[in-house]
Structure 1
Amino acid sequence: MLNTASLSLDQAPPISIPFRFFLTAPLFGLAAAGMLLFSGADLFLTRWSSLTLGFTHLLTLGMLAMVMCGALLQMLPVIAGSPVPGVVAVGTASHLMITLGTGTLVVSFLSGSLLADSIAMLLMGGGIMLFFVAVMVALWRVKSVSDTVIAIRLAMVSFLITLSLGLLLASGLLGRMGFGQIASLVDVHLGWGILGWVGLLLIGVSYQVVPMFQVTPEYPVRFRRLLAPALFGGLVIWSLLVSGSLFGIVDAIVPKLWLFFPLLGFVAYALMTIRLQQQRKRRISDVTLLFWRTGMLFVPLCALFWVMGSFTRTIGAGPQFNLLLGIGLLFGVGLSVINGMLYKIVPFLSWFHLQNRQMSLMCLSVKVPNMKEFIPDRSARLQFYLFLSALLMTLLAVLFPTWFARPAGLLFFLSNALLLKNLAVAVWRYRATNQALLAYARRVPAPVDPVDRVQQR
C-alpha cells in the first residue's frame, strides 16, 4: 500500500493540468523518432548540425521539460502543501507556449529562419518565465521547507540559468566569439540543463517518489540535506571556472578537473538509489523499477565515459564522443526515469482523484480501479523493451549510422506510440469512471467503460 499520510492531497490542481503535459511528451517523442527515420545517418554526423540540434531539443524541451513541468504543477501542492497560484491559467498558458515554442525552435534549426528563431525565443522565454515565477511563488510560500523543496528550488534556478544561456546563444549576440568559446558556452548551457535542471529536480522528486512508489527505505537524512546544495554549488564553481578559461585566467583543464566532483555526487546518488531499491519491501519488480534501474545504471556509465573522453584524446577527439555522451544522458538517464515516473504518477493521480470524488459523493456502488488497472502491465513492459531496444540501437547508430540509424528511429517511434497509447488508456478509464460517478450523482444510467467494452468483444 502507498503511504500518503504526509501528502496534502486536498490541494491538488485539476487532473487535466498535469495530464496535458504528460500526453504531449510522447507526441514530441514521435516527432523526434520521425526526424531520425527521415534523416538517417545524417543526424549523427556532428553535434552541431541543425538536425542534431533539433533532435536534441525535441528530447529536452518536448519530452523531459514537458513531463517535469506537469509533474511540478501537480506535486508542489501535494508534497509541499503549497499550490501554484492560478494553476489552471498558468498550466494552460505555459503548456501552450512551451509546446508552440519547442516546435518553432525546431523549425528554426531546420530552416535557418530568423523569424522562426525570434518567435521561438519569445514563446519559450515567455512560457518558461511564466512557469518559473508561478512555481517560485509557490516554493516561497512553503511553510515547512524540506530537502525536496530545497532541491526543487535549486532545480528551478538551474532552469532559469539554462533558459538565459539558451536565449543568449540563440540571439546571435555572441557572433564575434570564436567557435571554441561558443562551444564552451554550449557545454555550460547543457550542463545546467541536464545536471542542474533535470538532475536536481530528479533528485528532489525521488526523495518522495522512490520510497512511496517503490516501497524502499528513506534516503539517509544527511545525504538528502547535503547533496542538492553541494551539486548546485559545484555547478556554479564549474561555470565560473569555464568563464575564467575563456578569458585566459585559468587553464582549460581546470574546469574539467573540477566537474569530476559534481559528477561524483551524481554517481553517489545513483548508487544510493540502486541500494535502496535492493532493500525494497515489495520484491516483485514492475516496469517503473525497470526504467529507474536503467537510468541509474547509465549515470555511472556516462560519468566514466566522460572521464575517459575528457582525459584521453583517442576517445574524446572524435565527434562520436559528444554524441554518445548526449544519448547516454538524455536517453539513457533522462528518458528512462521520465518513462518510469509516468507509469506511477498517471495511475496514482487517476486513482487519487477518483477516490476523492467517490468519497465526497459517498458512492460505493461505482468501483474505482486500483492503480494497476489503469495501465495493463503487459503493455507497459512491452513499451519498456521497445524503449531499451531503441536506446541500444541509437547508441549503435552513433558508431555505425548507416546500418542502425533508421532501425533506431523505428524502435523509438514504436516505443513512443505505445507510451502514448498506454497513457491514453489510463486517461480513458479515468474519464469513464468519473462519468459513472457523476451519473450516480445525477441518478442517471452510467456509461459503459470503453475499455471494458473492447475487452468484452
Structure 2
Amino acid sequence: MNPVGLSLEQAPPFDVPLRFFLTAPFFLVLAAMVLLWHGPELFASRWLPAPLALTHLLTLGFMAQVMIGALLQMLPVVIGVTVPRPQWIAALIHLPLTLGTLTLAGAFLLGSPLGFQIASGLLGLGFGVALIAFNLAVWRAPVTSGTVIAVRCALGGLLVTVTLGLLLGGFFGWGLSLPIVTITTLHAVWGLVGWTVLLVAGIADQVVPMFHITPAYPCWLSRGFAPLMAVMLALWSGLMLGNREIATQLAGVALALGIAVFAGTTLHLLNQRRRKIGDPVLAYWRISLISLLASAALWLATSFLPALMPWSTVEWLLGILLIVGFAGAVINGMLYKIVPFLAWFHLQAQLLGRAKVPHMKQLLPDAPVRRQGWAYLVALLLLLAAAVYPPVFTYPAALALGLAGGWLDVNLWSVWRIYRQALSKGLAAV
C-alpha cells in the first residue's frame, strides 16, 4: 500500500522527523505563556522585547521545527534523494535549533547581549547543517518536478532569512551598525514568504492531490509560482534597500497578488476533491488558505488606502494571519497526516507477517483532531481580536493558544504511545 509517487523504501527512521514534530507544540505553549505574562501591553508595539520573543517562539520553535522535520522525511520519500546519516544530521539540527530558540527568546526578554551571541552561534550551527544537507540532496534530484523547483527556491529563501537573522544577532549581540528597521523587515518577509509560502507551495503540489484526491495544480503554477515569487522578492528587496518607495510598494502589490493566486487555486482544488468522505484535516487547510488570502487582501487594501487603520494594527494583523493563521494551521493539519501515516508505515515494515498493525484511524481518530482544530480556530480569532482591542481579548487569546498547542502535543504523543505499544506487543508475540 504505497501511495502513488512515494518512495517509502528510502524513508528515514521514524525518530528522525518525530523529534521535531513532538518538540514543536511545546513552543506554542511557551508563546502562550509569554502572551499571558505580559498581557495587553505586549500589543503596544511589535518592536518591544516581549513580542519579538513571542514571534520567534512561533517561527523558530513551532514552524521551523516542523518544516525541517518534514523536509528530512520528504526529500527521500517524495523527491527521491537521501540525506546521508539522517539520525546524525537530525540531531545536529534539532538540538541547536531547540536550544537556540529558547536562548534567543530569553535574550529578548532579558535584554542580554551574551544571550544573543550564544543564540546566534546555536542557530547558525543548526540552520547551517540543515542548509548544507538539504541543498546537497535536493540539487541531486533525478527529476526536476514542481515540488523540487519550489523546495530549491524555498531553501534559497531560508538562506537569505538566516543570513539576515544572523546580521540582526550581530546588532543585538555585538553592536553591529545596521539599518535595523529595513533589515528586520527584509528578514520577516523573506522568512514568511520566501521560505514558508514557497515551501508550503512545494509540499502542497504533492500532498493536496495525493492525500485529498483533487485535480493536479496547473503546470504553469506548479513550476512557475516559486521562481516568479523568488525573483519578485529579490526585486522588492533591492528596491527597498535603494529607498524606491513607490516601486517597492508596486513590487509588494505583485507579491500579494501572487500569494492570492496560490491560495485561491488551492482552495478551488480542495473544493473539487473526489473523495467525499469527511476529513478533519481539510478544515486546517481552509483556515490556512483563507488566512493567506486575508493577509494578501489586507496588504493590498492598506497599500491603496493607507488611512484604513493604524499601521501598527496592520502589522499585528498581518503577522497573526501569516504566522498563526496560514503557517500554523497548515503545519498543524499536516502533522495529523504525517505522524499517523509514518507510525502505520513503520509498524508495517517491522511487523509485516508477525502481528496485526493498527490502521491510521486507530492511531489517531478524527474526533480529537476535529476538536483541537476548533480550539486552534478560536485561538486564531481571539488573537486577531486582541490585535484590534488588546484589553479585552489578550488573556482569552493566550489561554486558547496554550490550549491548542498543548492539545496538539497530547494528540501526537498519543500516536507515539500507541505505536510503541503495538510494536512491543507485536515483537513479543513472535
**TM-score if structure 1 supplies the norm length?**
0.91
Partner of 1:253: 246
Conserved 8 A contact 2:256-2:300: no
Of 191, 194, 199, which residue of structure 1 is paired with 2:192?
194
d(CA) in 1 for partners of 2:41, 2:12? 43
The code of the aligned residue for 1:6 comes to G
| Alignment of structure 1 residues 222-261 onto 2, 5 Å | 222-245=220-243, 250=244, 252-261=245-254
Partner of 1:120: 119
| Alignment of structure 1 residues 23-422 onto 2, 5 Å | 23-172=22-171, 176-177=177-178, 181-245=179-243, 250=244, 252-315=245-308, 317-359=310-352, 362-363=353-354, 366-422=355-411
d(CA) in 2 for partners of 1:432, 1:268? 45
The code of the aligned residue for 1:407 comes to P
What is the number of equivalent residue pairs in this alignment?
428
Conserved 8 A contact 2:351-2:427: no
Conserved 8 A contact 1:287-1:343: no
d(CA) in 1 for partners of 2:89, 2:338? 21
Conserved 8 A contact 2:256-2:299: no
The code of the aligned residue for 2:184 comes to V
Shift of 1:316: 5.4
d(CA) in 2 for partners of 1:79, 1:176? 43
The code of the aligned residue for 2:187 comes to H
- CA 1:316 to 1:133, structure 2 compared with 1: closer, same or farther past 3 Å? farther
- CA 1:430 to 1:29, structure 2 compared with 1: closer, same or farther past 3 Å? same
- CA 1:273 to 1:318, structure 2 compared with 1: closer, same or farther past 3 Å? closer
Conserved 8 A contact 1:383-1:415: yes
- CA 1:216 to 1:166, structure 2 compared with 1: closer, same or farther past 3 Å? same
d(CA) in 2 for partners of 1:239, 1:316? 25
Shift of 1:3: 6.2
In structure 1, stretches of 5+ residues that fail to align are: 444-457
d(CA) in 1 for partners of 2:158, 2:167? 14
- CA 1:410 to 1:141, structure 2 compared with 1: closer, same or farther past 3 Å? same
d(CA) in 2 for partners of 1:317, 1:296? 25
d(CA) in 2 for partners of 1:49, 1:367? 55
The code of the aligned residue for 1:73 comes to L
Where 1:7 maps in the other structure, the secondary structure is coil
Moved more, 350-359 or 331-340: 350-359
Conserved 8 A contact 1:323-1:398: yes
Deviation by residue 1:351-399 (Cα, 9 ceiling, x = unmatched): 111112233xx22xx2211112211211111101111001000111111
Where 1:19 maps in the other structure, the secondary structure is helix
Shift of 1:317: 4.0
- CA 1:406 to 1:118, structure 2 compared with 1: closer, same or farther past 3 Å? same
Shift of 1:420: 0.5
d(CA) in 1 for partners of 2:140, 2:175? 38
The code of the aligned residue for 1:165 comes to L
Asked whether 1:429 is paired with 2:418, we answer yes
Where 2:4 maps in the other structure, the secondary structure is coil
Conserved 8 A contact 1:355-1:368: yes
Shift of 1:142: 1.5
The code of the aligned residue for 2:109 comes to L
**TM-score if structure 2 supplies the norm length?**
0.97
Where 2:81 maps in the other structure, the secondary structure is coil
d(CA) in 2 for partners of 1:430, 1:287? 22
Moved more, 65-74 or 292-301: 292-301
The code of the aligned residue for 1:136 comes to N
d(CA) in 1 for partners of 2:426, 2:136? 35
Deviation by residue 1:249-277 (Cα, 9 ceiling, x = unmatched): x3x12111111112211111111111111
Partner of 1:17: 16
Conserved 8 A contact 1:394-1:408: yes
Conserved 8 A contact 1:58-1:102: yes
Fraction of identical pairs, as percent? 43
Shift of 1:29: 0.6
Shift of 1:311: 3.3
The code of the aligned residue for 1:169 comes to L
Conserved 8 A contact 2:83-2:134: yes
Conserved 8 A contact 1:308-1:316: no
d(CA) in 2 for partners of 1:213, 1:244? 44
